[in-house]
Structure 1
Amino acid sequence: MVKQYMDYKDPDLHYSYDLGQSRFFTKNQDNYINVLGKEQLPTIGNVFLLDVFLSTGNVVEPHYHSNASELIYCITGETIVSMINPSTNELKNIRIQSQQVVTIPQGWWHYFAASMDHTHVLTIYDTPELDTVWGSDVLRLTPPQVFAHTYCLDQGQIQQALAPIRDTVIIGPPADCDRSRGRYSNKDAYYQPYYPSNPYYTRGMHPHYNDS
């Protein structure tokens, strides 16, 4: 845990903050993220927050945090949190609703998507400064020929497929997405066998479950 010296006799210290004044990312009026860390509130201690608002089908893109574990708390709506366990190579998909949480260990690859409108989640980290590696940056900054050579793929096809990723996505799909190219259903994107012993596993991922 990082220890920071704070002079609590300083009359200029603040102990409250309006997250609405600190935007981290905006896709549109229904999909955006506010941020709170020591830059916004020096007295916050060893905590970092992202205040996330999503509408149906919008995804906080695949990423990992190199310096922090994460707690995802659903305030309103419903989200499907997906993570890969690096010890077992297992993909877990966990659906949470209001007042339910999911933990993401430090360094785990993960992403989450809203399955209904007006979804609001708070992500909480055990660090005052968050380091994030976004999937879109990995894809757009790695030369296509590296992917082609490493995985024995066609370089032209890779280059064409990745060309639309020009910036860090954060909340996808981008507003100018070609839906015919990037279309998928909830079941296609988050398919995972259903484990009845765990009530937070997504029932809609079971092949015999009617998600309509």
Structure 2
Amino acid sequence: MAVSYMDFTSPSTQYTYTLSDNPFFQKDAQNFINTLSVNQLNTLGNASLLDIFLSKDNVVEPHIHQNATELVYCITGGAVVSLINPFTKELLNFTIGPGQVANVPQGWWHYEIANQDNTHLLAIFDAPVPEVIFGSDILRLTPAHVLAHSYCLDEAKVKDTLAPITDSVIIGPPASCSKQNASGMQPMGYPMGQLMNQGNYGSMNTSQTTPAPYQQGNQNQTYHYPYRPISEETVSSYTPLDQPFHPIPFLYRRWG
């Protein structure tokens, strides 16, 4: 989309930006996300990106982008990009290394797991400010009795299982994870991840491989992340053709 709203003669016109100046989330020194949107670089037009750094077995938790397609480009290290095709009901896993990409269509459920240390990914979006709904928010904010009733589950077990999810995870496993994973790996003793900007918000393998195991566990500390509902104007502009899914508005969050 052309940047038709810009006055390119204005002294406020921006052409360059340092991504580290806009951190979104940091779990620790090896696992963090910086973001760039039209809010930081006003000449971007209909584009934005996330600058993602991960160590092995860390995961950008399952989520959807209701307003944008995501192109994941691997700069260093490697990752498995997994997505669910809503038309075929298939889980697809794509292993990417430096110079390779995986594409996630708008509104598709997906996640990325690093299979090497020092993994650096760029997630590029066709929206000026990408929006996101995290799986951890859906799980922790849906009443346990509704989940139990909907799927014929034991309510007490649902409550017990989901109780450790007290906030958005974003990069998992949570830093306070105390549970060994299936491979017997010890939990990582990283400090609790923090959401930033308070008040703002190998070879390509297309077979269904199994991503590297990663740790899960408890999150004992609570951080209150700022939810940023989209505007009424934006809501009214959504159509079934634009939005493959219709997420719950109070879960909306913006990266930028």
- The TM-score bracket by the shorter chain reads 0.7 to 0.9
> Alpha-carbon deviations, 1:69-119, whole Å to 9, x = none?
010000000000000000000111110000000011011100010001000
Residue 178 of structure 1 and its aligned partner are, at CA, apart by: 1.9
Q: Would you say the 8 A contact 2:92–2:208 is kept in 1? A: no
Partner of 1:32: 32
Partner of 1:154: 154
- CA separation in 1, counterparts of 2:24 and 2:69? 19
Partner of 2:124: 124
Percent identity over paired residues: 51
- CA separation in 1, counterparts of 2:141 and 2:176? 20
Aligned residue type for 1:201:
T
Q: What is the CA RMSD across the aligned residues, in angstroms?
A: 1.8
Residue 15 of structure 1 and its aligned partner are, at CA, apart by: 0.5
Q: Would you say the 8 A contact 2:91–2:208 is kept in 1? A: no
Q: Which of 175, 198, 205 does residue 200 from structure 1 map onto?
A: 205
> Alpha-carbon deviations, 1:100-146, whole Å to 9, x = none?
00011011100010001000000000000111110000001100010
- CA separation in 2, counterparts of 1:9 and 1:102? 38
Q: Would the alpha carbon gap of residues 202 and 29 (structure 1) be closer, same or farther in structure 2, given more than 3 Å must change? A: farther
Partner of 1:46: 46
Aligned residue type for 1:184:
A
Partner of 2:182: 184
Instruction: Name stretches of at least 5 consecutive residues in structure 1 with no aligned partner.
Output: 186-197, 207-212
Partner of 1:190: none
The secondary structure found in structure 2 opposite 1:120 is: strand
Alignment of 1:31-110 (within 5 A): 31-110=31-110
Q: Would you say the 8 A contact 1:2–1:127 is kept in 2? A: no
Aligned residue type for 1:162:
L
Instruction: Name stretches of at least 5 consecutive residues in structure 2 with no aligned partner.
Output: 184-202, 212-256
- CA separation in 2, counterparts of 1:158 and 1:202? 32
Partner of 2:143: 143
- CA separation in 2, counterparts of 1:44 and 1:86? 30
> Alpha-carbon deviations, 1:178-204, whole Å to 9, x = none?
223xx135xxxxxxxxxxxx9523686
- CA separation in 1, counterparts of 2:159 and 2:88? 31
> Alpha-carbon deviations, 1:31-82, whole Å to 9, x = none?
0000000111111111010000000000000001111101000000000000
Partner of 1:209: none
Q: When the two structures are superposed, what TM-score results if normalisation uses the length of structure 1?
A: 0.86
The secondary structure found in structure 1 opposite 2:43 is: helix
The ranges of structure 1 where at least 4 consecutive aligned residues each deviate by more than 2 angstroms after the TM superposition are 1-4, 201-206
Partner of 2:240: none
Structure having the larger proportion of residues in strand: 1
Structure having the larger proportion of residues in helix: 1
